[in-house]
């Protein structure tokens, strides 16, 4: 028999995580879980649902790393970045047009979809 691919993504309001398994149909499922938080002394299957972009709207990091990088970046550099946290509920039960903009923690806005 062929391979079985099982992928699970939990995109939560506060925390997110994922796991996957690649097995043949005869084998028992052996999940591989991504653990987060090593940089802050944790080992957890979930990371904060937050994302950081630089001043050019290029992806920098996600989760604990995004939160720590943003909190450590101050002054002009911090104001130029786009840090989004707890944004999932602002999208809930809405039609998402292609030109939707979302507001970062520092008040700057960028398009939600590219």
Enumerate the domain spans of the chain: 3-111
Q: List Cβ neighbours of 42 (8 Å cut-off, separation of 6 or more).
A: 36, 64
Rounded to whole angstroms, what are the CA distances from 8 to 5, 44, 54, 94, 114? 10, 16, 29, 24, 24
Which of residues 33 and 26 earns the better pLDDT score?
33
Task: Name the pairing type of β-strands 15-24 and 32-33.
Answer: antiparallel
Q: How confident is the model at residue 109 (pLDDT cuts 50, 70, 90)?
A: very high
Q: How confident is the model at residue 84 (pLDDT cuts 50, 70, 90)?
A: very high
The pLDDT score that the predictor gives to residue 1 is: 54
In angstroms, the CA 10 to CA 33 distance is 12
Q: Tell me if residue 10 falls in helix, strand or coil.
A: strand
């Amino acid at each position: 028999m062929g391979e079985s691919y099982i992928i699970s993504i939990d995109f939560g309001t506060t925390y997110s995580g994922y796991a996957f398994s690649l097995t043949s149909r005869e084998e028992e499922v052996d999940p591989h879980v991504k653990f987060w938080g090593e940089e802050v002394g944790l080992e957890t299957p979930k990371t904060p649902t937050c994302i950081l972009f630089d001043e050019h709207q290029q992806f920098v990091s996600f989760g604990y790393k995004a939160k720590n990088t943003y909190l450590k970046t101050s002054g002009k550099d911090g104001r130029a970045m786009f840090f989004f946290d707890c944004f999932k509920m602002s999208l809930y039960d809405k039609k998402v047009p292609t030109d939707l903009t979302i507001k970062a923690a520092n008040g700057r806005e960028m398009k939600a979809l590219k």
